[in-house]
Amino acid sequence: MAKGRKNGLYSGISEELSALMRTGWADTERHDLRPDEQAPYAAARRAALSARFPGERLVIPSGNLKTRSNDDSYPFRAYTGYVHMTGDQARDGALVLEPRADGGHDAYCYQLPRDSRDDNEFWTGAHAELWMGRRRSLAESAVVLGLPCRDVRTAAEDLASSGAPTRIVRGIDPSLEGAVATEEERDAELEEALSDLRLVKDEWEVAELRKAVDSTVRGFTDVIGELSRAIASSERWIEGTFFRRARLEGNAVGYGTICAAGEHATIMHWTDNDGPVRRGDLLLLDAGVETHTLYTADVTRTLPSSGTFTPLQRKVYDAVYEAQEAGIAAVKPGAAYRDFHEASQRHLAARLVEWGFIEGPAERAYELGLQRRFTMAGTGHMLGLDVHDCAQARNEEYVDGVLEAGMVLTVEPGLYFQPDDLTVPEEWRGIGVRIEDDLVVTADGHENLSAGLPRSADEVEEWMARLGG
Ligand code: GLY
Ligand code: MN
Ligand code: MN
């Protein structure tokens, strides 16, 4: 009798039970699968990566489950570079680009195969499909991904036994990392390249981002309809309302929802979301639906919970709105990436000088960055599979680079007056406003993907009056 697990209620597995479990199962191999519609796009992305590293083997793991406690795990999220290069989200996998003599690469994918029924693993193992759900077979994955697939259980041995110069993305899969001899700096260049290659989205990615944003627009609309219930409960009501839409239409939210009423709106990463929503307060909601393919939106609206801005709230809101307009106008191909940030920040610096909160003249205040006391964050970032996408890209390609058609970015100026800031009049303290939209750079300018959500103060009030819950 095989021993049972510690604190398990069954004492063990008898030979008879083991034999009973292994028999009587149908063949469920699927023969009806077709290549994923993303497969040709992923192939083109791999070709671009291959061209950067002739003669070298590249290993891009998908990652493993992370333990939360005991045998409980955090939800799995495959490494972004792996998802981008394969279209796959499986855990315990890896993409390998094996160098060819002609300078190109042959790509293949390691995957965890289906459980055999020849031993007890399929119902007692850590990855048992009977507990975790069915996986694709290697043959099925090969069809779906358009890539030859191999058993990941031999990956460490395979990789250790071949002599090609290798790079691996570090910090994703310790066992694969341990199997290859690589240099940290060269590995970092691989990660950098994977980030660079996501800067310009292909048409399939833009379509996914459009879906993420459209779904997010519906989530914000849900929230407006639930405002009175939020006022009777807490910020959590808003968070839950948005999350329901994200889970129904997509995979989840693409980052922790920021649902910040009153002075919480001045906290950039307020995700506790456990405060009250008082009528008359502003409610800052920063939230994004992540599609089933893991592309995320990142949208913020700041709403007057009563349905109407006070004169002071509107004054701050209008300043942020005008700064966003200036930023959005600067988004076009050929513009320096920084232009939108600088346009927004200049506008906010001028307003802060005019209000007497920082010393002018405005251009001097801007040059010295004095506005940052109240603007806090940069005015935006690339958006895609990660909410702060392409974060490892080279500066010259990203923040010091030039906008190109197909780039997708947020424009999100804000003003935040901390509740304990003695440099502003008391009635300003605790006001926080951010407006955030998701833009795709087009051949002749940009398209605001989140234009479906009202943005100016008047439009917001009209929208809330129409839908108010
Ligand atoms: N939600 C994070 C950000 O706006 O960048
Ligand atoms: Mn955001
Ligand atoms: Mn953002």
- What is the architecture of the domain spanning 20-196? 3-Layer(aba) Sandwich (3.40)
Q: What is the pLDDT of residue 366?
A: 98
C-alpha distances (whole Å) from 156 to each of 110, 309, 322 are: 10, 60, 55
CA of 379 to the centre of ligand 3 (A): 8
Please report the atom of ligand 1 found closest to the CA of residue 258: 1
Please report the atom of ligand 1 found closest to the CA of residue 288: 1
Which residues are near ligand 3, the ion (C-beta closer than 5 Å)? Answer: 298, 410
Among 410, 416, 433, 435, the mutation site with the greatest number of ligand 1 atoms within 8 A of its Cβ is 410
Give ligand 1 pocket residues (Cβ under 6 A). Answer: 255, 286, 298, 381, 387, 412, 436
pLDDT in tens, the chain (469 residues): 777 777 889 989 999 999 999 999 999 999 999 999 999 999 999 999 999 999 999 999 999 999 999 989 999 999 999 999 999 999 999 999 999 999 999 999 999 999 999 999 999 998 899 999 999 999 999 999 999 999 999 999 999 887 789 999 999 999 999 999 999 999 999 999 999 999 999 999 999 999 999 999 999 999 999 999 998 899 999 999 999 999 999 999 999 999 999 999 999 999 999 999 999 999 999 999 999 999 999 999 999 999 999 999 999 999 999 999 999 999 999 999 999 999 999 999 999 999 999 998 999 999 999 999 999 999 999 999 999 999 999 999 999 999 999 999 999 999 999 999 999 999 999 999 999 999 999 999 999 999 999 999 999 999 999 987 6
Q: What is the pLDDT of residue 232?
A: 87
Please report the atom of ligand 1 found closest to the CA of residue 255: 1
**Angle subtended by helix axes 203-225 and 235-249, to nearest 10:** 140
Q: What is the pLDDT of residue 160?
A: 87
CA of 298 to the centre of ligand 1 (A): 6
- What is the architecture of the domain spanning 203-467? Alpha-Beta Complex (3.90)
Q: What is the pLDDT of residue 163?
A: 75
CA of 145 to the centre of ligand 2 (A): 32
Distance CA 469, CA 138 (A): 50
**Residue identifier of the C-alpha nearest atom 3 of ligand 1:** 298
Q: What is the pLDDT of residue 161?
A: 81
Q: Which ligand has an atom closest to residue 438 CA?
A: 3
Q: Where in the chain is the domain with CATH 3.90.230.10?
A: 203-467
Please report the atom of ligand 1 found closest to the CA of residue 434: 4
HEC string of the chain equals CEECCCCCCCCEECHHHHHHHHCCCCCCCCCCCCCCCCHHHHHHHHHHHHHHCCCCEEEEECCCCCEEECCEECCCCCCHHHHHHHCCCCCCCEEEEEECCCCCEEEEEEECCCCCCCCCHHHHCCCCHHHHCCCCCHHHHHHHHCCCEEEHHHHHHHHHHCCCCEEECCCCCHHHHHHCCCCHHHHHHHHHHHHHCCCCCCHHHHHHHHHHHHHHHHHHHHHHHCHHHHHHCCHHHHHHHHHHHHHHHCCEECCCCEEEEHHHHHCCCCCCCCCCCCCCCEEEEEECEECCCCCECCEEEEEECCCCCCHHHHHHHHHHHHHHHHHHHCCCCCCECCHHHHHHHHHHHHHHHHCCCCCCCHHHHHHHCCCHHHHCCCCCCECCCCCCCCCCCCCCCCCCCECCCCCEEEECCEEECCCCCCCCCHHHCCCEEECEEEEEEECCEEEECCCCCCCCHHHHHHHHHHHCC
Among 298, 299, 301, the mutation site with the greatest number of ligand 1 atoms within 8 A of its Cβ is 298
Please report the atom of ligand 1 found closest to the CA of residue 436: 4
Q: List Cβ<8 Å contacts ≥24 apart for 447-453.
A: 448/328, 449/209, 449/210, 449/213, 449/297, 449/408, 450/213, 450/216, 450/217, 450/297, 450/299, 452/213, 452/214, 452/217, 453/217, 453/220, 453/299, 453/301
Q: Which ligand has an atom closest to residue 254 CA?
A: 1
Q: What is the pLDDT of residue 452?
A: 97
Q: What is the pLDDT of residue 126?
A: 86
Q: What is the pLDDT of residue 69?
A: 95
CA of 286 to the centre of ligand 2 (A): 5
Q: Where in the chain is the domain with CATH 3.40.350.10?
A: 20-196
**Residue identifier of the C-alpha nearest atom 4 of ligand 1:** 298
Which residue, among 262, 321, 344, 276, has the nearest Cα to 460 in the 3D structure?
321
Q: What is the pLDDT of residue 246?
A: 98
Q: What is the pLDDT of residue 469?
A: 60
